[in-house]
Amino acid sequence: MALTELLGALPLVSSGMSKLQVAAIYLAISFVSWYIISSFTDWYRLKAFPGPPTTGFSNLWAARAIWTGKAHKIFPATQEKYGPITRIGPNALMVCDAATVVHINGVRGGYARSQDFYDCIRMDPWDHTVLSESDSAMHNERKTKVYAGYHGKGEMDMEKDVDMVIAEAVELVRKKYMNSAATSGSKPPLDYTRIARYIAVDSVTQTGFGKAWGDVREEKDHFGWLGFADMIVGYLHSLAYVPAISKIVISTPLMVLLGPKPTDKSGIGAFLGLIEREVARRYKDGSAKGTPLKADTGRSSMLDEWVKNGISQRTAVLEVSAQLPAGSDTTASALQGTMLYLLSTPSAYIRLKSEISTAIRTGLISSSSIITDQEARKLPYLQAVLYEAIRMMPPLMNGFPRQVPAGGDTICGRFVPGGTDIFVNYVGMLRDKSVFGEDANVFRPERYLEGDEERRNRMWKTTDLAFSHGRWRCLGQRLAWVQLQKVVVEFMRNFEMQIVDPMHPCRLRCYCTPEMDDLMVKVTEAKWD
């Protein structure tokens, strides 16, 4: 029987309806029926887990929490209300305890990255990088190839690269923003959030390409990267929480029509074009095969080390494209958060200044050159300050999801079906009073130096989970830590800083990562006894 004859036999057909109208009605009925059945199925699958009322049927609650820029408040408050394992979407649960984070990120745990989420955070719309690859075997293969570069192996001198950037930042602040008796407070206040972002970008590009973009030196957002990041982060992170929409946005037809292209004059396309040209210099004529040439004889970089390790030209383009968004924004937020809490906590500020002063006086650190990584690690209070700042403002607020293995697993004492996405509420985990004490919501670095060794170790290890764990551990952690140590010590040994407006010290928005603006500080020359 023909389709039109079949439709004509259906009871909804009346003499006033065309066959097209009838088809439309039945298609609508079919869609509504599918939606109701699938929604019920999704709700029923995780019905045992409490959460906000709409989360059993829609991802919009979580997406809205991200979109508001208040995720750092909404998710912890929600978990406090609903418990240690909380439903935040039809197929999504959120946890906040350290043991679960270790378990789901363990090499033998069988968990994988959630493909829907990670597909949405690709820098290149056509391929994955080690930071977005959801296939565990492919991720491990990529990680093996790029590991040496990220950890400063081979002919790299990661510390020297970072030292160059920090020296330029200190000189800029000294000349343009530092007040002295001679200037009588006439110099403008420094936007510390901005200089922190410039430092992070230049450190990533210096270590990544072998040449910094010059954001610090020129006080300029080269290639509009920071402006683009400000514009896209809220959209991108919110979209990643709604797979039904993100799949459409990143679909091949839409990418062909509207996706970024290396020939674009601005935006992410222009950034990708810049990366392609930079990588092509390291390879034979940019051929499709991407046969690597011998590394540049000049200053070695991550890219040069990758070339020497034999990765293809296409892979090099992808991995370099991921460095900047992954390494600059998170490091900048750590630099910003550390200084915000130090300037807001006089006791910590004074004690750290004292430790630095004593270290210089006793020769533990040099008085004439930028502090080394080895020297910084010998300053216990500095390390406590950095860990406490990471704890109070983790670079990743609500961790990117892992997917429960096919057979299901027991999490927080509850069985969770296979295929479920597990998000981590890092803010809640890092303010757990059972780990950090009753004053867990207070910035107090001393906690890492007090009490018995077992308690201290538990705090150190829990805070360290801010950089994830196991096979998914942050590749850029070493570079980030080198920057943190050096920036904090060099700014504090050279300058005194005071928040201009204590009532409104900065603007803070938190999506999956924190975004800070306008931490304005008055800078004067450091005084030492």
The residue written with tokens 């080198």 in the block is 482
Q: Provide mean pLDDT across the span 241-268.
A: 71
pLDDT for the residue 286: 44
Q: Alpha helix (H) ranges present in 84-191?
A: 98-105, 115-120, 136-150, 158-176
**Residues in the chain, overall count:** 529
Neighbour-count burial of 338, counting CB atoms closer than 10 A to its CB (0-12 exposed, 13-18 middle, 19+ buried): buried
CA distance 442 to 446: 11
Q: What is the pLDDT of residues 108-155, one digit of tens each?
A: 778 888 877 777 777 666 777 777 666 677 777 777 777 666 766 666
CB 265 within 8 A of CB 256: no
pLDDT over 70 (residue 499): yes
Residues making up the annotated binding site for heme are: 474
With 80 as the cut, is the pLDDT of residue 405 above it?
yes
Beta bridge partners of 414: 411
Binding residues: 474
Q: What is d(CA 87, CA 464) in angstroms, rounded to the nearest whole number?
A: 26
In 3D space, the residue among 105, 100, 96, 104 whose CA is nearest the CA of residue 469 turns out to be 105
Give the mean model confidence (pLDDT) for residues 149-163: 77
74-88, 229-243, 394-408, 417-431, range with the lowest pLDDT: 229-243
CA distance 180 to 523: 9
Residue 426's identity, in one-letter code, is Y
What are residue 425's phi and psi, to 5 degrees? -90, 90
Residue 294 has pLDDT above 50, yes or no: no
Per mean pLDDT, which range of 55-64, 259-268, 280-289 is the poorest? 280-289
Cα 164-169-170 angle, rounded to 5 deg: 100
Give exposure, 17-55, as e/b (b: 16+ Cβ within 10 Å): eeeeebeeeeeeeeeeeeeeeeeeebeeebeebebbeeb
Query: Hey, what are 257's tokens?
Result: 């029509």
**CA–CA distance, 233 with 240 (Å, rounded to integer):** 11
Question: How far apart (Å, rounded) are the C-alpha atoms in residues 244 and 242?
Answer: 6
Distance CA 155, CA 161 (A): 12
Q: Which residue has the higher pLDDT, 395 or 124?
A: 395
How far is Cα 206 from Cα 213, in angstroms, rounded to an integer? Answer: 7
Selection from 143-157, 208-222, 313-327 with the highest mean pLDDT = 208-222
Selected residue with higher pLDDT from 178 and 29: 178
> What pLDDT sits at residue 497?
95
Does 510 score more than 60 pLDDT?
A: yes
Contact between residue 248 and residue 231 where contact means Cβ atoms under 8 Å apart: no
Question: What is the token pair recorded at 255?
Answer: 């990418």
What the block records as the tokens of 328 is 């600059």
Q: What is the mean pLDDT of residues 382-409?
A: 92
Query: Given this model, what pLDDT does residue 529 score?
Result: 64
DSSP state of 406: T
Given phi > 0 = left and psi -120 to 50 = alpha, else beta, which region is 36? alpha
| Amino acid (1-letter code) at residue 492 | M
User: What six digits make up the tokens of 356?
Assistant: 């630095």
Q: In what order do the strands lie in the sheet with 85-89?
A: 85-89, 92-95, 421-425, 398-403, 112-113
Query: DSSP secondary-structure letter at 440?
Result: T
Confirm if 425 and 79 have CB atoms less than 8 A apart. Answer: yes
Give percent of the chain above pLDDT 90.
Answer: 46
- Distance CA(268)–CA(255), nearest Å, equals 13
CA atoms within 13 A on the CB side of 422: 28
Decide: 7 and 13 in contact? Cβ < 8 Å: yes
Q: In terms of pLDDT, which residue wins out, 244 or 343? A: 343
Residue from 469, 475, 374 nearest 148 by CA: 475
User: In 3D, which of 500, 522, 497 has the Cα closest to residue 183?
Assistant: 522
pTM attached to this predicted model? 0.85
Topology of domain 54-114+149-222+324-525, per CATH? Cytochrome p450 (1.10.630)
Helices then strands, counting H and E runs in the chain, come out as 23, 13
Report the alpha-carbon distance of residue 36 to residue 57 in Å, rounded.
Answer: 9
The continuous run of DSSP H or E covering 91 comes out as: none
Domain-by-domain residue ranges, the chain?
54-114+149-222+324-525
In the prediction, which pLDDT does 276 show? Answer: 83
Output the pLDDT for position 291: 45
| Residue-wise DSSP of 496-513 | EEEES-TTS--EEEESSS
